[in-house]
Structures are given as structure tokens and as C-alpha cells.
Amino acid sequence: MTLQDHAPTQSAIGSGSDTQRRYRRIVVKAGTSLLTGGTDRLDLEMLATLVGQIARLQSRGCQIMLVSSGAVSAGQHVLRKKSTSHGLPMRQVLAAVGQTRLMNAYEQLFDWHDIAVAQALLSRRDLSDRLGYLNIRNTLLGLLEHEAVPIINENDVVSVDELSGEVFGDNDTLSAMVANIVDADLLVMLGEVGGLYTADPHLDPDAKLIPSVDRLSDDIESMGGPSWQDQGRGGMATKLDAARLATASGVDAVIANGRISNAIVRLTEGESLGTFFPATSTRLESRKRWMLSQASDNGAIVVDEGAVHALVSHNRSLLPPGIIEARGSFGRGDIVTIVKADNEQIACGISNYSCKDISSISRMQSDQIAEILGHHFGDEVVHRNNMVVLS
């Protein structure tokens, strides 16, 4: 078992203005128990506290995404006289009713801070499908570029996995997957439990908080068990799974009590709260390994020297004018290699267009794409956000 009996150092989490640079993109997951206070209705005071912290961080230049539970509980309050059944169909009804209440509350609270919000309801099939992955990533990054806050939740109405507790587990795993998709710096999982303890603190008065875990060993995972709160479905085990996924993707993760004053702000400023899990690889290393392992063997995009300079030296997106040709056969959403005329690999990335489409628009201007193809998936053939430069 690898435990640190001391709080993580400032350098482990970051401090002061240096933290603002390192933790620029943050995913915050708020659990059901936190958002309802153990009742069957939303705790608007708690929501307002979370929104205020997110607004403060955004004013400092941070980009925040909120993965929010609470829709089913909100629906339970609205339909409490009719909700005698707690099976899957009824939970989906409750989610459908409650999601509108949840988003309406967030919209009003964020509006006080002049911040736009956007709803993103995701299902497991969206994340596993290559085109779904591409569309989700492009949309979320686009929202962040426009300083909107995405409010993300499992699409309970059409997805049965999370509701039946088989995959996502109260949005814990979903939040880690979102952190991976958008290359986040930090994942903060907030609930009513202060972090990972040596035992269930509600049952064992001698349970001790573990401030930092630098490796998720079998001994550590054995401390995760059923949910310590009745409202939430995730439990500590799913939070540890989410921490493992996030840290392997180059994202630092924290499990903390969301009722601690200014918990999100204090965590990003380097204060030790809850249990900290440092990333086990850099985001670039993780993303490069993933893209290289997924790169299509069916073709490549050949670019000229001007495009090489733009990609390598200026971190630009790949546009049609710099493309010489597309070789082989690949579809939109496939990860492809980008090569020079002599076949030297310079980058790989997710293509917004198929090989056939690229052959038609190579050497053309981006504003001609729609006219030539009859459809338009963006001015970029490969966006810089979806690319890793290899050289």
C-alpha cells in the first residue's frame, strides 16, 4: 500500500498564481447527496455556492465544466405523490422531469454572474462511438472557448447503464471520461464525504482520512465499498475507478467534501482538502500514446512545407490549402497520421473529413468546403485541439 501520511505539498497541487496556469481547465463533479442534502429536492443554497465558486474561477481565466447529478431527485420532489415505483422506467420518468428543474436552477444562478450555460446530456454509446467522441469533444471545447459553462449529465432517459448502476455510477466515471476527452488539468469529485478514509467514517469513529494517494494499489481499492450515503449510487469504489482513469490520462484528481467553504477555489489554490491523486502521466504523453495506438493504418494526409511549419512551429490547425493529397481509406472521426511528401510523420489527429472528402477539398480554401462537398464539418480538416505533433 502506497500512502503518504502527510498532506500533498504545494508543488504537488500547485499554489498561488502558478496554480492558475497549471489548473486552467477543471472538471467539477457534484454528487446527488451534495446537491440535495439527503432530501428529495435540490438544495438551492448549495447550488448557489457551487455556481459562485465557478464564477470566481472563470473570472481568473479558468475553464470549468460541471458534471451534475440530481435530476432524479429533483423529479422525485415534483412527482412525489405519484412515484410509488422505483424501477428503471420510473427513474427515467423522474430524470426527464427533474433535468429541466436542474438546468433551470443552474441557468438562473449563473445568469446572476452573466455566465452562459449549456446542457450536455451524454450516454455511453456517445462516448464509445468515434464520431460521437469527436462531436462531443469539439462541442465542449467550443463552449469553453466562448466562456460558457457546460452542465453535463448522463442521458438517463435513453441510457440504462448508469441508472442500473452497471457502468457510470452516479456520474463519477462520466466525469473522469469528460476530463480525458477535453484534456482537463484537474478533476474535482465533490460529495458529502471528506475523501478516502481507512474505513467508513459513519461506522468507524477511528477512521482516518488519507490525504494523498500516489498509487492506486489493491490495498487502496479495498477501502472503497458501497456508497456511504443513501442518495448517491456511486460510492467510494466508483470514485477510485474514476481517479484511476483520470490520473492515467494525465489529470490530477481530488475527492473532497463539497460543503467545505470555497472547496473548489481552495483546491485550485493549492490547499490540501480531501484526498489528492496525482496524475501518473502527462496529458501529452497520455494523448500521444492513445492517438498513436488508434491511428488508422488505412491512410494518411500528406501536407506541404507551409503546413508543416504551421503545425509544428505555430500549433495551428490543418486547413485544406496545405494538403497535397489524402492516401488510402479512412472515415470522418478516424485518427490518421499527417506526413510530409517523403512520408515522414509529423503529427496524428482526428480527421473532421473522410479520405474521399479531403481529396476533393485539398488545395482549396476553407470557405469553399460547403460548396464543393455539400456539407460542412468545420473549416479545419484536423483541429489543433484534436492533434498531437510528433516531431
Mean pLDDT, residues 155-180:
68
- Model pLDDT for residues 12-30, shown as the tens digit of each residue: 333 333 434 368 999 999 9
Please tell me whether residues 346 and 234 are part of one structural domain: no
Please tell me whether residues 11 and 127 are part of one structural domain: yes
Please tell me whether residues 245 and 294 are part of one structural domain: no
Q: Which of 252, 281, 310 is the last residue of a domain?
A: 281
Please tell me whether residues 103 and 203 are part of one structural domain: yes
**What's the domain count of the chain?**
2
Which CATH number does the domain housing residue 321 bear?
A: 2.30.130.10
Mean pLDDT, residues 348-365:
95
Q: How far is CA 23 from CA 30, 188, 238, in A?
A: 18, 11, 24
How far apart CA 384 and CA 75 sit, in angstroms, is 41
Q: What percent of the chain has pLDDT over 90?
A: 48
Higher pLDDT, 188 or 329: 188
Please tell me whether residues 245 and 324 are part of one structural domain: no
pLDDT band of 4, cuts 50, 70, 90: very low
Q: Which of 235, 255, 281 is the last residue of a domain?
A: 281
**At residue 340, does pLDDT exceed 80?**
yes
Q: What is the pLDDT of residue 228?
A: 46
pLDDT band of 75, cuts 50, 70, 90: confident
Find how far residue 243's CA is from the centre of its chain. Answer: 12
Q: What percent of the chain has pLDDT over 70?
A: 82
Find out whether 144 and 184 touch, Cβ atoms under 8 Å. Answer: no
Please tell me whether residues 351 and 227 are part of one structural domain: no
Mean pLDDT, residues 293-311:
86
Q: What is the pLDDT of residue 318?
A: 97
How far apart CA 55 and CA 179 sit, in angstroms, is 19
Please tell me whether residues 147 and 252 are part of one structural domain: yes
**At residue 263, does pLDDT exceed 90?**
yes
Higher pLDDT, 75 or 356: 356
Q: Contacts for 204-210 with beta carbons within 8 Å, 24 or more apart?
A: 209/274, 209/275, 210/3, 210/275
- Model pLDDT for residues 217-254, shown as the tens digit of each residue: 767 766 665 544 444 455 788 898 889 888 988 899 99
Which range (73-82, 85-94, 288-297, 340-349) has the least confidence? 288-297
Please tell me whether residues 194 and 318 are part of one structural domain: no
Please tell me whether residues 160 and 211 are part of one structural domain: yes
**At residue 303, does pLDDT exceed 50?**
yes
Please tell me whether residues 338 and 382 are part of one structural domain: yes
Tell me the residue range of the domain where 314 lies. Answer: 288-389
Please tell me whether residues 235 and 312 are part of one structural domain: no
Q: What is the pLDDT of residue 160?
A: 54
Which CATH number does the domain housing residue 32 bear?
A: 3.40.1160.10
How far apart CA 302 and CA 320 sit, in angstroms, is 11
Please state, rounded to an integer, the average pLDDT across all residues of the chain: 83
Report the length, in residues, of the chain: 391
Please tell me whether residues 307 and 329 are part of one structural domain: yes
Q: Which of 229, 255, 281 is the last residue of a domain?
A: 281
